Chains A and B, each alone.
Chain A
Amino acid sequence: MEPATAFKLVISILSHADQLVSAAKKASEVISNAAEAGREVTRDELMQAAGDSQTAIDALDQAITAVEDEQEP
């Protein structure tokens, strides 16, 4: 892979830093809330996070399908 290509891709990924910060903050908030309440992260909270990441995976599949449909003649 050419350095210029790698650089462009890294910049593309980093340009979505808001998404990274948002995902990390959400997880951090759950952990903080649990700590403040004097308990550990519950199974329900983990299941909620699992649901959110599954939704993101489904959205990725939908984006792939949309671009594939667009490319079809």
Chain B
Amino acid sequence: MERRWRESLTVLVAVVLLAALAGCGSTGGKILDKIGLEPPRSTQDRILYGYSQVEFLAGTTARLVQEKKVSIETAKKVSQSLKIAQAGLNSAADAYFLKDGAGVEEHLKRFKVLLDEINNILGSDTTAAKPKPATKPKPTSHWGAPVTG
């Protein structure tokens, strides 16, 4: 009973953190304050949290791959998108420190879009549910050409 309660609490905290990290509103931020995690405020903070989101998604996807809960194709797409997201954050950091902040917001907006895309890629993977059925071979004529009509 206690174990189930603890698991539920862990899931709840994770959902709140996910929402807060994704910048989904002030409620998440207030809860983060209460449990000792500060919400991002300045531009550098937002870039820093961006890197932590990339780290989390890469780490989680790696574990899901090892546990065979996502397909290799999905993991490759996620990896590709994470590399683009990482490059975007690097550009945002460079823009902030080297170019007086010019273009930072655009980089961070694109980063947010990429994160949504990565979540969609992971969410659309069906590997966890069932193995892919074997594809039925198409009927062919005796010399191997596909039968039409």
Contacts and interface: CB of A to CB of B under 8 A. Distances in A.
Same complex origin of A and B: yes
Interface in B103-149: 122-126, 128-129
A64 B79 contact: yes
Interface residues of B, number: 58
Contacts, number: 160
Given A1-B124, A2-B129, A9-B128, A67 B48 contact: no
Contacts of A47: 93
A61 B32 CA distance: 31
B59 A17 contact: no
Contacts of B123: 1, 6, 9
A61 B65 CA distance: 10
B75 A19 contact: no
Interface of A: 1-2, 4-6, 8-9, 11-14, 16-17, 19-21, 23-28, 30-32, 35, 40-41, 43, 45-47, 49-50, 52-54, 56-57, 59-64, 66-68, 71
Interface of B: 10-11, 13-15, 17-18, 21, 32, 36-38, 40-42, 44-45, 47-49, 51-56, 58-70, 72, 75-76, 78-79, 82-83, 86, 89-90, 93, 97, 122-126, 128-129
Given A17-B14, A57-B79, 15 more contacts: A8-B128, A12-B69, A13-B60, A20-B14, A21-B17, A23-B56, A27-B45, A31-B48, A52-B51, A53-B51, A56-B59, A59-B62, A63-B65, A63-B75, A64-B65
